[in-house]
Structure 1
């Protein structure tokens, strides 16, 4: 039973599944098999372990009009601002998979050890894929901190069915949620899809987030294809000016399979131009091998794409886990 079934239809829900009116449906199973088992597949080999030289011990709180972002790894961030501690797509597990013994495995430790986390007030979970919605981590957080968990429609059921102590609250695109201390978050459309198993495709909604903070607005994009860039321009128009964008740059090869759902670095540079953020930080690379490109390919391609677009490299930075960015 999925939460989507008792919701009235809308411009992105047909009464049974969610869809992006500006997007494309996810690839068919036959395409997945062609990618995974095709004779001309070129999958780069990642080093077994690629540790980050950095590790962060965050302060208890960050007050005033500052914001402190600590990169945990992959798509996981700790954002501290206005006395609130907010985690985005937290994954401390060893694997991102329905199975404990198989599936993509970490190539480096989280940039903040779980025991080094400050008190967590709010968790934002962008969608249901295993590398973003990690029930084991959400359970640990619920047990230790009991934070509010803000997520798009239907993902609340995934969480609560796994652990009733996860305080999940589900919202639709364009809903704005007050988090306290003058901080709010709006769920915004993004070009992606969702599934936890073989038979629940697009039964849960996916989203990106715009955080209103005293340090400016932070646009946190989980997974997104670029498409024609419409979603990024819409967010820039509706929510600008944006102080910072967190943009995914990894998990993009082969393009024929991935381009509708995941941006490559050149797409991400266009997305930055479209949304107009003053600064961008890269993520979704270097921790879990989900696709075929080499571990360092996204960061190299990002520098090339910025140079080609005549955008200074310091405006769009790829941190390593444990590195910190302060506004």
Structure 2
């Protein structure tokens, strides 16, 4: 079992890590006046949902990627199960109820060997879901966020800065920078860090979960430092209006560029089809991702535009 080391001292703010100014009150008021976050849910019934009820058996050296919804995946590699930004709740603060169910029942999960959190926004760090975990579950979190978990009784908290590495459950976890921000309350903007996770099984697959991000040069650096990514899980939704969202949320065309930048063999779409966070039509993120993937000359089978609940198996490169 991973044990929690003595908490590290972190800066009181990570605002110096921002790569673009955040929208201010004027921009927010303008967006609200324009109804920028009120997308129609008329297409919700067309979002594909596949709930097979069980995860497949894996052969040695392979991995599986199951999209539970939004930024939540159940990853199995190296004999371990890892949850990314787990959200099983039907509602999160500030937005309407989720429009598709979780793609995997909580009861269908194997033992969870590790949880990775990209940042503290409610659609990525859901307290009711986290309360369902045994308190000795290893949780890997950004710098400045460990205390939130320790106060709630978690005993195996790993807190990392960008480009730092930890080994948990026989896997290597690298915390990498992305173009985003953090806030949980009105008074803690950028008090904790944000980022993505590269998860590598010894001698097996390497997976990248970007959490949430705008487009920018960090992706190329991630690819240089962590070559051979088999699957990049990249956000394609919550991008409209562009004048408001561009600094912190990629659009689908940018997500495809990011997949190219990190050198990923495959791209799995996420951050769409679960919560209505912005103004684009519900199906546009995945439709635009398909068009951008084709325009980039990539093989159609390497775009994993998963249905909610769908699992794909990764035959990783030898390392």
| TM-score, with structure 2 as normaliser | 0.89
Match of 1:10 in 2: none
Match of 1:37 in 2: 33
Residues 1:149 and 2:139 are matched in the alignment? yes
| Pairing partner for 1:196 from 169, 184, 187 | 184
Q: Structure 1 residues 294, 52: CA separation in 2 closer, same or farther (over 3 Å shift)?
A: same
CA contact (8 A) 2:37 2:277 kept: no
Match of 1:66 in 2: 62
- The structural deviation recorded for 1:309 is 2.0
Q: Alignment partner of 1:242: what SS? A: coil
Q: Alignment partner of 2:12: what SS? A: coil
| Pairing partner for 2:83 from 84, 87, 110 | 87
| Pairing partner for 1:138 from 120, 124, 130 | 130
Match of 1:249 in 2: 236
CA contact (8 A) 1:208 1:220 kept: yes
- The structural deviation recorded for 1:243 is 1.2
Name the structure, 1 or 2, with higher relative contact order (CA <8 Å, separation 6+).
Answer: 2
Residues 1:266 and 2:261 are matched in the alignment? no
Residues 1:215 and 2:200 are matched in the alignment? no
- The structural deviation recorded for 1:207 is 0.9
Greater than 4 Å deviation, 4+ residue runs: 59-63
Q: Structure 2 unaligned runs (5+)?
A: 1-6, 315-319
| TM-score, with structure 1 as normaliser | 0.87
- The structural deviation recorded for 1:165 is 3.8
CA contact (8 A) 2:43 2:283 kept: no
Q: How many residues align?
A: 307
- The structural deviation recorded for 1:242 is 1.2
- The structural deviation recorded for 1:277 is 0.7
Q: Alignment partner of 1:68: what SS? A: strand
Q: Distance in 1 between matches of 2:68 and 2:84?
A: 10
Alignment of 1:221-236 (within 5 A): 221-227=210-216, 230-236=217-223
CA contact (8 A) 1:63 1:81 kept: no
Match of 1:168 in 2: 157
Root-mean-square deviation (Å): 2.3
| Pairing partner for 2:41 from 21, 42, 46 | 46
- The structural deviation recorded for 1:22 is 6.9
Q: Alignment partner of 1:250: what SS? A: coil
Alignment of 1:303-314 (within 5 A): 303-314=290-301
| Pairing partner for 1:75 from 61, 71, 75 | 71
Q: Distance in 2 between matches of 1:26 and 1:5?
A: 27
| Pairing partner for 1:317 from 288, 299, 304 | 304
- The structural deviation recorded for 1:63 is 5.9
- The structural deviation recorded for 1:33 is 1.9
CA contact (8 A) 2:113 2:169 kept: no
Structure 1 residues 104-113 or 258-267, which shifts more?
104-113
- The structural deviation recorded for 1:286 is 0.4
CA deviation vs aligned residue, 1:144-190 (integer Å, no higher than 9, x gap): xx4101010122222333x2246432111111110133x11100011
CA contact (8 A) 1:123 1:147 kept: yes
Q: Structure 1 residues 246, 294: CA separation in 2 closer, same or farther (over 3 Å shift)?
A: same
Q: Structure 1 unaligned runs (5+)?
A: 8-14
Q: Structure 1 residues 35, 312: CA separation in 2 closer, same or farther (over 3 Å shift)?
A: same
CA contact (8 A) 2:31 2:37 kept: no
Q: Structure 1 residues 17, 137: CA separation in 2 closer, same or farther (over 3 Å shift)?
A: same
